[in-house]
Amino acid sequence: MTAATDLDKIAADLFIWQAYDQAANSDLFSSAIATRNRIFVVDPIPLRKAPFAQLHEQGVIAGVVITNANHLRASGQFAERFSVPIFAHRAAFPDTMPRQFSELADGEKICDELHVIGIDGAAPGEIVLHYASGDGTLIVGDALINFRPYGFTFLPGKYCSNEKEMRRSLRKLLTYKTERMLFAHGLPILSKASDRLRQLLDGDL
C-alpha cells in the first residue's frame, strides 16, 4: 500500500491524509483526532516519515479505529508500533481477531468526546464516529462517499449487504450536531455537513 506524502490539518484537532491505491483503483483517505493530547487514528494508510512525525507531535497515539471489515489497511502496523488497541466492531474481523482488538458496539464511547454509531446494511462491521468538539465531526467508513463522479452520496448498492437497511440506519446520524464530515473514500465536507446530510437523506424518502 502506497504511503501518503502529506498530512493535512483541517481543524485544530483534526487531520487527514490520502494516497492512491492501485488495488482499489481509488484514493484512500485516513483521519486522526487529537483529543486531550491523545491521538486516535481512523482507517490508517501508511504515512511517510515527515508527515508521520508531524502527526506524532500532536500527542500520544492512543488507539486505532477501523470503521468496517474492508478498512484494515495499516491498522496492524500502527497498533504494533505504539502498543495500542484496535477499536472496531466484532464483524470487522470475521476470521481472526488481532491481539490488540477492543470491541465496539453502537452507542458506546471510545473516549468522552468520541461516540460510536453502528450502521446496519453497509459493509460488515460498519460504524461511524462522532467527535463532539468544535461543533461536531462525523467520520464515515463506507456508508457515505464523496468523490467523483458520484459526489456526496450513499455507498452504491452492489457493495451493501442491505442497501435499504443502510439508508434507514444512516438517519441516526441526524441526531448528532455535525459541522464537518470526513470520509474513508472522498474529500471532507468542512462546513454545514448536517444540512448536506439531511438533504441527502430526505431526498431518499
DSSP codes, 11-34: ETTEEEEEEEETTTTEEEEEEEEE
Check: CB of residue 155 under 8 Å from CB of residue 122: yes
Residue 185: CA count within 13 A, CB half-sphere: 23
Domain boundaries, given as residue ranges, for the chain: 8-202
pLDDT, residue 53, reads: 95
82 CB contacts (<8 Å, ≥6 apart)?
61
pTM: 0.95
> Nearest to residue 123, comparing CAs of 196, 43, 194?
43
The tens digit of pLDDT for each residue in 87-104 reads 999 999 988 889 899 999
Average pLDDT over residues 175-201: 97
Among all chains, which residue has been given the C-alpha cell 468523490?
147
The tens digit of pLDDT for each residue in 21-76 reads 887 788 999 999 998 879 999 999 999 999 999 999 999 999 999 999 999 999 99
pLDDT, residue 180, reads: 98
Span 8-202 CATH architecture: 4-Layer Sandwich (3.60)
